[in-house]
């Protein structure tokens, strides 16, 4: 529980702001942050104390931003990958004049505040990304810088650098230990993202103690091996930090890592350099002692000297002028390059242009069976010319995921005008990079891999859902139907696991025409990510007119003969065609079956009850769900009278028709279950 007695208080004695104002400014960040944590009686004082000088130098000397307009497109991005240091970020936002009044700091980590335990995008103005799960901010920053480079390549013209900003990311030991960060670092080094500047809080302490116990690699050498420009500085030498950042800026073809030697809990007489400073309030007495050690009045709380606040708030005036200058540049650009400017506006709006879907394919029913991954490729490529913001790729499986945009260039080292990305075998960082690109704005990113490997990127998918980012995942090879590659590659639990993520739409089309609708659903979505779940194997094509209902998540694909169903067969994806075959077989035995294609549970659940009851009439309790995955969750739809043909074990290596049959996905078995 927070300690509401812990109130703002000016120092009893007047305080002379002597010496270097910059030092006072850094200490204002420190003291605000530790007061914030102390009042909440919860939070992380160690990072703000340790890195305030670094953060101050970035924000004071380098960061181009306008606190009055956190949406200015050409602002520099600052991401606190070590999100547990949120109190420092809130202090910076408050001090520089964002709409984050002191009251919000006083409500740190309380219900309804804009100052949650870890920074949350969309909740707090100036917070560029939701961070906290380590490594995510690292990868997200790479995505932001990649988006910047891609937009710059598209829109900038000589004398018109309308996209021209840096991405600064503050990272911790924990970030650098996480695999997702390693992947992203390798990718950023490969691409040569020169405007990426990472500041590493090298404090030698992690939660379990000194990094000696587990983290003794040569981080600088590792990053050089990735192709990064690496410098080392004293984390308290502000001029040296500034010089390092300046040098990092002059390095335009390599990302930069600035290794700043710091001390966790800097200034705390009893907790500096110890894990105890990391994640618990210092305690009132230690807060007082820390302030005094920093040359701050020990009795002051949430106190910011006028000169300090005045200095910080210059960011407002400076930011307004910078944004205004940029606005003027954009106006000249509009006159010189009206078509480009129109494209720019369209890109930044995030809206789909009218008529974008006019060329989407329709597949003829009864045509040759088509894998939904192939139908997806056709839909994607039909939409691409209308949607220049649509960019993406795969984690080294584009030929299998069918994610390539034909006729468009690759994005590669120093060549950012293309639309096809190569993420390498790096699913997790692909997820984080997609998040960064979506956060940046101006691009609509997608990424593909096998469904089974969605597990590798779940932490990033979760954050996309939490941040309401309209990222699109293309997950192919969606069941035991992938065949010979066997159980390591056959997803069984992944539909359930993805459906469980709040705000992620999981869309598993039954065939080619539903796949086109699935892409429409995904592309028209603005408030969150969509996972398209696609087959490796060919599936019979349904009449395009029969599948319109897919947009509602679940619909009657084929009603019972005569309209009164004895049984309802529910299925998704490749099992829908099995249900259709079974319906025929049942009809031959005098059993009238309705087939419901459940392309997306979340979409169906969002329909009015009248609609849901029309699709699944409560009077028809004989229901059978068929899905080549675990049954978890299907009982909600089949009810007490229903049953599920599912898979409750891992798959097996064999040709897919064999595996499907052996696992019970045959007309005979469906008929037997119904009977």
Catalytic residue annotation? 427
**Cα 473 from Cα 454, distance rounded (Å):** 9
State which of residues 67, 141, 174, 297 lies at the interface with its own copies (CB under 8 A).
174
Specify the residue for token string 């984050």. Answer: 100
Q: What is the DSSP letter of 62?
A: I
Distance CA 507, CA 656 (A): 22
Which residues, other chains included, contact 14 with Cβ-Cβ below 8 Å and sequence gap of 6+? none
Task: Please choose, out of 89-97, 265-273, 524-532, 642-650, the segment that lies near its own copies by the rule CB under 8 A.
Answer: 642-650
Look up residue 349 and give its two tokens: 């709006």
Pick from 71, 250, 488, 610: which binds its own copies (CB under 8 A)?
488
Contact between 118 and 86 (Cβ < 8 Å): yes
* 8 A C-beta contact, residue 202 and residue 274: no
- How far is the C-alpha of 97 from the C-alpha of 333, rounded, in Å? 30
Residue number with CB closer to its own copies (303 or 604)? 604
Residue 19: how many CB atoms within 10 A of its CB? 9
Nearest CB to its own copies, comparing residues 117 and 298: 117
Q: Is 666 in the site for its own copies (CB under 8 A)?
A: no
Instruction: Give yes or no for a contact between 553 and 607, defined as CB atoms under 8 angstroms apart.
Output: yes
Residue 655 binds its own copies, judged by CB under 8 A: yes
The answer to whether 620 contacts its own copies (rule: CB under 8 A) is: no
Pure H helices in 75-200: 86-96, 102-106, 136-155, 173-177, 179-191
Q: Per CB under 8 A, does 222 bind its own copies?
A: yes
Question: Does residue 663 touch its own copies according to CB under 8 A?
Answer: no
Q: Is 231 in the site for its own copies (CB under 8 A)?
A: no
Q: How far is the CB of 619 from its own copies (least distance, A)?
A: 12
Nearest-angstrom CA–CA distance, 669 and 102: 66
Find the shortest distance in angstroms from Cβ 137 to its own copies. 11
- DSSP H or E stretch at residue 101: none
Least distance (Å) between residue 353 CB and its own copies: 30
Applying CB under 8 A, what is the total number of residues that bind its own copies? 116
Q: 3-state SS of the chain: helix, strand, coil percent to 5?
A: 45, 15, 40
Q: Which is nearer to its own copies, 526 or 657 (CB)?
A: 657
Rounded least distance, CB 501 to its own copies, Å? 5
Rounded-to-integer distance, Cα 451 and Cα 372, Å:
13
Which stretches of 462-592 are assigned E, i.e. beta strand?
472-476, 505-507, 530-533, 538-539, 554-558, 567-571
The reply to whether 369 sits near its own copies by the rule CB under 8 A is: no
**Which of 67, 97, 133, 528 is close enough to bind its own copies by CB under 8 A?**
133
Among 113, 249, 274, 669, binds its own copies (CB under 8 A): 113
Among 70, 125, 424, 441, indicate the residue that binds its own copies (CB under 8 A): 424
Nearest CB to its own copies, comparing residues 161 and 633: 633
Exposed, middle or buried, 590 (CB in 10 Å: 0-12/13-18/19+)?
A: exposed
Query: CB-based burial of residue 552 (10 Å sphere; 0-12 exposed, 13-18 middle, 19+ buried)?
Result: middle
Give yes or no for residue 282 binding its own copies (CB under 8 A): no
In the complex with its own copies, which residue's Cβ is closer, 93 or 557?
A: 93
Phi, psi of 271 (to 5 degrees): -125, -10
Kindly state whether residue 142 participates in binding its own copies, applying the rule CB under 8 A.
Answer: no
Question: Half-sphere exposure of residue 449, counting CA atoms within 13 Å on the CB side?
Answer: 25
Dihedral of the CA atoms 293, 297, 298, 303 (nearest 10)? Answer: -120
394, 479, 537, 574: which one binds its own copies (CB under 8 A): 394
Which position among 187, 260, 379, 593 is part of the footprint of its own copies (CB under 8 A)?
187
Looking at the Cβ atoms of 2 and 607, the one nearer to its own copies is 2
Task: Give whichever of 194 and 549 is closer to its own copies, judged by the CB atom.
Answer: 194
**118 touches its own copies (CB under 8 A):** yes
Pick the binder of its own copies from 5, 13, 218, 339 (CB under 8 A).
218
According to the binding rule CB under 8 A, does residue 110 interact with its own copies?
A: yes
Element containing residue 540 per DSSP (H, E): none
CB of 299 to its own copies, least distance (A): 26
* Residue 216 binding its own copies, by CB under 8 A: yes
213 binds its own copies (CB under 8 A): yes
| Residues 97, 101, 106, 108, Cα dihedral to 10° | -70
Return the SS3 of 480: helix
Q: Is 448 in the site for its own copies (CB under 8 A)?
A: no
Subset of residues 298 to 337 that bind its own copies, contact rule: CB under 8 A:
none
Does position 519 interact with its own copies (CB under 8 A)? The reply is no
> Residue 635, interface with its own copies (CB under 8 A)?
yes
Asked if residue 13 binds its own copies (CB under 8 A), the reply is no
Contact pick of 32, 33, 40, 534 for its own copies (by CB under 8 A): 40
| Chain residues 457-486 in contact with its own copies, contact rule CB under 8 A | 458-459, 462-463, 465-466, 483-486
């Amino acid at each position: 529980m927070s300690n509401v007695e812990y109130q703002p208080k000016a120092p009893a004695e007047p305080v002379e702001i002597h010496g270097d104002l910059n030092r006072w400014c850094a200490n204002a960040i420190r003291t605000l942050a530790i007061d914030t944590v102390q009042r909440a009686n919860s939070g992380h004082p160690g990072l703000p104390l340790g890195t305030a000088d670094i953060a101050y130098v970035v924000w004071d000397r380098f960061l181009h931003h306008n606190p009055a307009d956190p949406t200015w497109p050409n602002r520099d991005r600052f991401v606190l990958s070590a999100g547990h240091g949120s109190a420092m970020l809130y202090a910076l936002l408050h001090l520089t004049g964002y709409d984050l009044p002191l009251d919000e700091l006083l409500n740190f980590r309380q219900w309804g505040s804009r100052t949650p335990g870890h920074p949350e995008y969309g909740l707090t103005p100036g917070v560029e990304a939701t961070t906290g799960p380590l490594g995510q901010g690292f990868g997200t920053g790479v995505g932001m810088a990649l988006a910047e480079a891609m937009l710059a390549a598209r829109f900038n013209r000589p004398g018109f650098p309308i996209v021209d900003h840096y991405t600064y990311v503050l990272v911790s030991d924990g970030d650098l230990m996480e695999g997702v960060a390693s992947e992203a670092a390798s990718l950023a080094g490969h691409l040569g993202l020169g405007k990426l500047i990472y500041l590493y809080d090298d404090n030698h302490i992690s939660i379990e103690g000194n990094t000696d116990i587990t983290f003794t690699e040569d981080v600088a050498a590792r990053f050089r091996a990735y192709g990064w420009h690496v410098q080392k500085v004293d984390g308290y030498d502000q001029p040296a930090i500034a010089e390092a950042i300046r040098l990092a800026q002059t390095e335009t073809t390599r990302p930069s890592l600035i290794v700043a030697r710091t001390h966790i809990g800097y200034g705390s007489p009893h907790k500096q350099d110890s894990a105890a400073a990391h994640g618990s309030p210092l305690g009132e007495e230690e807060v007082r002692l820390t302030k005094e050690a920093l040359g701050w009045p020990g009795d002051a709380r949430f106190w910011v000297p006028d000169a300090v606040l005045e200095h910080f708030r210059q960011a407002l005036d400076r930011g307004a002028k910078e944004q205004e200058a940029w606005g003027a540049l954009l106006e000249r650009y509009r006159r010189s390059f009206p078509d480009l400017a129109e494209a720019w506006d369209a890109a930044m709006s995030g809206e789909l242009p009218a008529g974008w879907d006019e060329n989407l394919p329709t597949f003829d029913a009864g045509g040759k069976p088509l894998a939904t991954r192939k139908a997806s490729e056709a839909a994607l490529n039909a939409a691409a010319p209308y949607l220049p913001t649509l960019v993406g790729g795969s984690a080294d499986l584009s030929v299998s995921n069918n994610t390539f945009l034909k006729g468009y260039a690759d994005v590669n080292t120093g060549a950012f005008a293309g639309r096809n990305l190569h993420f390498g075998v790096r699913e997790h960082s692909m997820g984080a990079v997609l998040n960064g690109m979506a956060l940046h704005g101006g691009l609509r990113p997608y990424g593909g891999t096998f469904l089974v490997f969605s597990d590798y990127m779940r932490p990033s998918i979760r954050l996309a859902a939490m941040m309401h980012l309209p990222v699109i995942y293309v997950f192919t090879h969606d069941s035991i139907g992938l065949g010979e590659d066997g159980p390591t590659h056959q997803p069984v639990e992944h539909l359930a696991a993805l459906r469980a993520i709040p705000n992620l739409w999981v869309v598993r089309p039954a065939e080619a025409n539903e796949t086109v609708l699935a892409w429409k659903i995904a592309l028209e979505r603005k408030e969150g990510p969509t996972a398209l779940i696609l087959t490796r194997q060919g599936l019979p094509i349904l009449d395009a007119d029969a599948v319109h209902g897919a947009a509602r998540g679940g619909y009657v694909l084929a009603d019972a003969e005569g309209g009164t169903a004895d049984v309802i067969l529910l299925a998704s994806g490749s099992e829908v065609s099995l249900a259709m075959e079974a319906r025929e077989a049942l009809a031959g035995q005098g059993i009238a079956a309705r087939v419901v294609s459940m392309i997306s549970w979340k979409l169906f659940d969002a329909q009015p009850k009248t609609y849901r009851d029309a699709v699944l009439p409560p009077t028809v309790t004989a229901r059978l769900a068929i899905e080549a995955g675990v049954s978890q969750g299907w009982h909600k739809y089949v009810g007490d009278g229903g049953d599920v043909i599912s898979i409750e074990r891992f798959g097996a290596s064999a040709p897919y028709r064999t595996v499907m049959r052996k696992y019970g996905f045959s007309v005979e078995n469906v008929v037997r279950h119904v009977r």
